[in-house]
Amino acid sequence: MKKSVVIVYYSFSTQTAKLVHRLRKGFRQSGFQVETLKIVPCKKLSFPLHSVPKTILMMLTTFLRKRVKIRPVDKALIKSSDLVVLAGPTWSYNPSGPILDFLDRYSHLLKDKYVLPVISCRKYWRTHFNYLRKKIDSAGGRCMNPLVFTHKVKEPWSTIGTFMTIAGISPRSFRFMRKHYPRYGHNHAQLEEMEKKAKELANSIKRKSEPT
């Protein structure tokens, strides 16, 4: 029987989605059966926000861990899988609003499951991970070491560039940013790294017959 993984993910600005694509490829190439479960907010959240005040408001409300209500998920997919990947961005040091709502409503499904957190962020992921771990532990799940991917840009350019991108202002249209800000999000090498890590993890699971 093939081992099965379900990748539960939310992505606002496509960065987690790109990582998930490579993760899925890596697991599939290693002989795993992979299902993806995309978390969809009930009310559409459009990226970019095209507004500076809306961006500031989002940063503030997410700091307070405001939940974003999500559409119902396929519980059977989670129940039947050997490994659950929980992937999403950091929002103001916390898991994103849709992932918070997922955990509030569905964390009981993680009981006795190995859960692999995947985090996409600019830089600050520890509070996010600690929150996930607490929720997974208290649901009776087995939280694995997270796979964390940060944006490879120095500060303060990373913060400025991320803010501008979310607000819908192209950082590279400003000469001072072009010099310091190559892109928003993860680079090609990081996506390759994700695929490699997925294969390593899949092979280690097959060898030991359980995740570590």
Please give the residue ranges that form the binding site for ligand FMN (CB under 6 A): 11-16, 58-59, 62, 89-93, 120-124, 162, 166, 185
Q: Determine the distance from the C-alpha atom of residue 33 to the mean position of all C-alpha atoms in its chain, rounded to a whole number.
A: 20
Least separation in angstroms between residue 54's CB and ligand FMN is 10
124 versus 176: smaller Cβ distance to ligand FMN: 124
Least separation in angstroms between residue 3's CB and ligand FMN is 26
Least separation in angstroms between residue 129's CB and ligand FMN is 12
Closest to 134 in 3D by CA, of 109, 107, 97, 101: 107
100 versus 166: smaller Cβ distance to ligand FMN: 166
Q: What's the angle, vertex CA 203, arms to CA 199 and CA 207, rounded to 5?
A: 170
Angle between helix axes 52-63 and 157-167 (nearest 10 degrees) is: 110
Least separation in angstroms between residue 140's CB and ligand FMN is 27
Q: Is the peptide bond prior to 156 cis by the omega test (within 30 degrees of 0)?
A: yes
30 versus 92: smaller Cβ distance to ligand FMN: 92
58 versus 132: smaller Cβ distance to ligand FMN: 58
Question: What is the rounded distance in angstroms from the CA atom of residue 113 to the CA atom of residue 115?
Answer: 6
